[in-house]
Amino acid sequence: MANELQGKVAIVTGSSRGIGEAIARRLGLAGATVVITARTVEVRDEKLPGTIHTVAAAVDELGGKAFPVAANLMHKEAREQLVETVLKEFGRVDILVNNAAILVPGSTIDFPERYFDRMFEILVKAPHHLCQLVLPGMIERKGGAILNISSGAARHPEKPFTRSFGGSVYGMTKAAIERFTTGLAAEMYEHDISVNALSPSKVVATPGQMYGRTYTQEMLDASEPVEVMAEAGYALLTGDPKEVTGGICYSQGVIDDLGIKAESIGMDAPKPN
């Protein structure tokens, strides 16, 4: 349904590469105007390819309309400027995808406060603040969709415990965003605004995920294609807001529930970086 989102405006944070890029492409393929936003306006490290401009060009090639906006979501003023710019340009925001992320591993006992504050600012406060900025318009129009990208790190570790890579703080932020998702879904139900959280079912070998890590070919072969997250995210964003809301979802589960065949995923668009 190439024109299902025609006339809709979507903001996708952290969309210069990886999962955010894939979701932006999928929304563009459906005819949406997609605001590509991230900090990256030029490639500074070859291991982290992609910029808001290269992704915007890719969305345009798919028949969508892209609008790149540089923004550092660490700062409240930048978040306000982002939404203000979009509203000035297009007059509305119909879809918000909170994907921007930062992961600093480390054990609790000596975890630096500056990184703790930075992770909560980007992973918890920024999504909450962006929702505050776009929801008044959605409520006025009586419709909209919000997707928060989460992670399996939100799950409680299972016994018997083994040595952790030091992801307690990251897990805290993702657990917080999932609780925020269900709470906001309940608040917005009467306004026909869906709110869902989506996590990958398996590791997605994005540039950010692979940065500073060593992946064997076996691990890469077992990873989840980024298009699975994009297709699952698209399904949640376009579902009936009275039925498809308040979900703490995993990508493969969404795909299985919809009966989408693996060979149909990503066939209409070039692969993201």
What is the DSSP secondary-structure string of 196-221? EEEE-SS----HHHHTT----HHHHH
**Catalytic pick from 174, 194, 201, 234?**
174
Determine, yes or no, domain membership for 269.
no
Determine, yes or no, domain membership for 270.
no
Determine, yes or no, domain membership for 32.
yes
What's the chain's length in residues? 273
Determine, yes or no, domain membership for 3.
no
**Catalytic pick from 150, 151, 199, 251?**
150
pLDDT of residue 233: 97
Distance (Å, whole) CA 128 – CA 79: 11
18 CB burial (10 A radius; 0-12, 13-18, 19+): buried
Residue 233 carries which DSSP code?
Answer: H
- Report the run of H or E that residue 194 belongs to, with start and end: strand 193-199
The answer to which of 16-20, 134-138, 190-194 has the lowest mean pLDDT is: 16-20
3-state secondary structure of 69: strand
What CATH number is attached to the domain comprising 145? 3.40.50.720
Q: Does the active-site annotation cover 264?
A: no
3-state secondary structure of 10: strand
Determine, yes or no, domain membership for 273.
no
Distance (Å, whole) CA 240 – CA 96: 16
Say how many domains are in the chain: 1
Q: What is the pLDDT of residues 129-138, one digit of tens each?
A: 999 999 999 9
Task: Work out the average pLDDT over 100-105.
Answer: 89
The answer to whether residue 197 scores a pLDDT higher than 80 is yes
Determine, yes or no, domain membership for 272.
no
Q: Does the active-site annotation cover 170?
A: yes
User: Which amino acid does the sequence have at 204?
Assistant: V
**Catalytic pick from 8, 15, 170, 199?**
170
Determine, yes or no, domain membership for 245.
yes
Q: Does the active-site annotation cover 189?
A: no
Calculate what percentage of the chain has a pLDDT beyond 70: 82
Most confident of 12-21, 43-52, 209-218: 12-21
Q: pLDDT grade, residue 17 (50/70/90)?
A: confident
Determine, yes or no, domain membership for 87.
yes
Distance (Å, whole) CA 118 – CA 51: 22
Domain that holds residue 70: 9-264
**Greatest Cα-to-Cα distance within the chain, rounded to the nearest angstrom:** 54
136 CB burial (10 A radius; 0-12, 13-18, 19+): exposed
Residue 124 CB contacts under 8 Å (≥ 6 apart), including other chains:
173, 176, 177, 180
Q: Higher-confidence residue: 164 or 10?
A: 10
Distance (Å, whole) CA 254 – CA 233: 9
**Predicted TM-score (pTM) above 0.85:** yes
